[in-house]
Amino acid sequence: MTDLYSGGMTDLFFPRALVEGAWVRDARVATTAEGYISAVEVGAAAPDAERVAGIAVPGVPNLHSHAFQRAMAGLTERGSPAGDSFWSWRERMYAFVQRLEPPDIEAIAAQLYVELLRHGYTSVAEFHYLRNAADGRAYQDPVEMARRVLAAADVAGMGVTLLPVLYRTSDFGGAPPTPAQRRFVVSVEDLVGDILVLAAAAEDENTRVGMALHSLRAVPATELAIAVDTIQGLDPHAPIHVHVAEQVREVDACVAWSGARPVEWLLANAPVDARWCLIHATHVDQHEVDALAGCGAVAGLCPTTEANLGDGVFPLVEYQAAGGRWGVGSDSHVSVSPVAELRTLEYAQRLTRLERNVAAGGQRRSTGRTLLEAAWSGGSAACGRALGQLAPGARADIVVLDPNHPALAGREGDDVLDSWIFSGEDTPVAHVMVGGRWVVRDGRHVRQDAVAAAYRQVARGLAGAVPHLSVEAGGGG
């Protein structure tokens, strides 16, 4: 289906571009048929190149997504006399999951990916744990749900790092999964089989397959070790992701179980290195901050979801001071814009520290540039793909901003990035290229209408799938 997109082995000409960290004029960018940048020439005339009006910057990698949750956004915003928290939200999510079938997943994911692309994301790491049928049995094709995610990415033209998820237990200490979690449960052996099948089915350079461990609650230590050793043997460079330390209750339960905090335990018991992405890591002490930064792993921050769920605020200042790498994801997709994630991250720091321009670290530099550089670099590492740069060898994932948009009018250099992030909600994204192919032109995705029509039909069928009553639930998942 991707052959419907224009592009593939062409030369592009941008009047302004951010090339390898420098603002330049008259940039000629050559791309290969496989979707990589082969050369960048600055100050070029390029009369034979495709001329693209606007300001070219790297596309933003989205390092954490649960695509199906896009259809839940807005359906859990009612209070309860019993109180509301992440744990009661999770019970609503479990109820919602029971209604989803493979065609629904494809329609929801395609709509999500179209929205992400229109706002400047060009790649997504899909943390895929919705594996089984509603009764907990595997589909006839065990990777049916994963194939639907890949099909949606193909329809949208989104780069994807697919992360099949190991999920075994409901809480620390090996508590058996609850009936509500049976759609997620998979053995290590079956997970490895899924990964092998999906890696073999990956048809182009827009797709990467890694592995995720749902959480320390859901993966016992022995099985965690087996899974990590196995995936390293299959692909030494495969990205490995894990949810960790998102909630205070989770931290307390981990300490009660093991005597150690979650990040502390993980770093002591798993070979965590630059291939790993620790999702959230919200509740970490200074020892964990220093150790996480020192091992080279990426902290996967999802600020709008963390705010929506009442998770807490990541210690960004301390982590950056320790030299830690991080990137952003949209997780439950209460937002579909990298701008929202980066702005929420910065504003949370400002509110808790009573300061401004916190991410800039007291330096005379652009806050927007600082945030985006971290998101480009950390997101690329977490996705296991060459992303986040306009440079030879990187994927030709390019976002073109409209210099005539009111948010960017008259802006030059890093003021463009600051204004993109801190100047309103209307997106100045004009065109988006993924792997050398245009998927958004003049603010519209090339399949926007058809994808939205399919999604609307699914969304209407799911009306009422989320119960409004909030109930505090036990266990973990």
Quick: pLDDT tens for 421-464. 999 999 999 999 999 999 999 999 999 999 999 999 999 999 88
HSE (side-chain half, CA atoms, 13 Å) at 22: 10
Q: How confident is the model at residue 271 (pLDDT cuts 50, 70, 90)?
A: very high
**For the segment 337-376, what is each residue's pLDDT rounded down to a tens digit?**
999 999 999 999 999 999 999 999 988 899 999 999 999 9
- Residues whose CB falls within 8 Å of the CB of residue 282, separated by 6 or more in sequence, listed in order: 245, 246, 247, 306, 311, 312, 313, 314
Q: Which residues pair with 244 in a beta bridge?
A: 280
- 331 assigned to active site: yes
Q: Are 208 and 162 in contact (CB under 8 A)?
A: yes
On the question of pLDDT at 4 being above 80, the answer is no
299-336, pLDDT tens digit by residue?
999 999 999 999 999 999 999 999 999 999 999 999 99
Known catalytic residue: 402? no
Mean pLDDT estimate for the chain: 95
| Cα 447 to Cα 394: distance, rounded to the nearest angstrom | 26
Among the listed residues 343, 334, 393, the one whose alpha carbon sits nearest the alpha carbon of residue 368: 343
Strands (E), 340-475: 398-401, 429-434, 437-441, 444-445
Give how far Cα 151 sits from Cα of 176, 203, 297, 389, Å. Answer: 33, 11, 30, 26
Between 3.30.1180.20, 3.40.1190.20, 2.30.40.10, 3.40.120.10, what CATH number should domain 2-57+392-458 receive?
2.30.40.10
Nearest CA to 383 among 205, 123, 132, 1?
123
Place of tokens 């890696």: 199
Residue 184 pLDDT class (50, 70, 90 cuts): very high
Q: How confident is the model at residue 120 (pLDDT cuts 50, 70, 90)?
A: very high
**Percentage of residues of the chain with pLDDT beyond 70:** 96
249 in Cβ contact with 216 (< 8 Å): no
Q: What pLDDT was estimated at residue 475?
A: 33
Torsion of CA 223, 227, 228, 233, to 10 degrees: 140
Within its chain, how far is the Cα of 428 from the centroid? 21
Residue 58 CA to residue 428 CA, distance in Å, equals 14
Helices (H), 55-202: 86-97, 102-118, 144-156, 188-201
Does the pLDDT value for residue 273 go beyond 60? yes
Please, where are the H alpha helices in 334-413? 338-353, 367-383
Catalytic residue among 154, 194, 331, 402: 331
The pTM for the full model equals 0.96
Could you tell me the two tokens for 445? 């995705």
Which residue is catalytic, options 128, 214, 241, 280? 280
Contact assessment for residue 473 and residue 90, using Cβ atoms and an 8 Å cutoff = yes
User: C-alpha angle 417/66/316, rounded to 5°?
Assistant: 45
pLDDT of residue 206: 96
The DSSP line for 304-321 is: HHHHHTT-----HHHHHH
Is a pLDDT exceeding 70 seen at residue 467? yes
Q: Render pLDDT for 151-170 as a digit per residue (tens, 0 to 9).
A: 999 999 999 999 999 999 99
Region 412-423: what's the mean pLDDT? 98
Taking 50 as the threshold, does the pLDDT of residue 118 lie above it?
Answer: yes
Question: What pLDDT was estimated at residue 468?
Answer: 65
- Do 37 and 391 form a contact (C-beta atoms < 8 A)? yes
Q: How confident is the model at residue 470 (pLDDT cuts 50, 70, 90)?
A: very low
For domain 60-383, which CATH number applies: 3.40.50.10420, 2.30.30.60, 3.40.50.300, 3.20.20.140?
3.20.20.140
Q: How far apart are CA 436 and CA 456, in angstroms?
A: 30
The Cα 422–Cα 57 span in angstroms is: 17
Q: What is the dihedral of CA 308, 312, 316, 317, to 10 degrees?
A: 130
CATH 3.20.20.140 residue ranges of the chain are 60-383
Please, which residues bridge with residue 37 across strands? 31
Which regions of the chain carry the CATH code 2.30.40.10? 2-57+392-458
Q: What is the pLDDT of residue 423?
A: 96
How far apart are alpha carbons 121 and 140 in whole angstroms?
A: 33
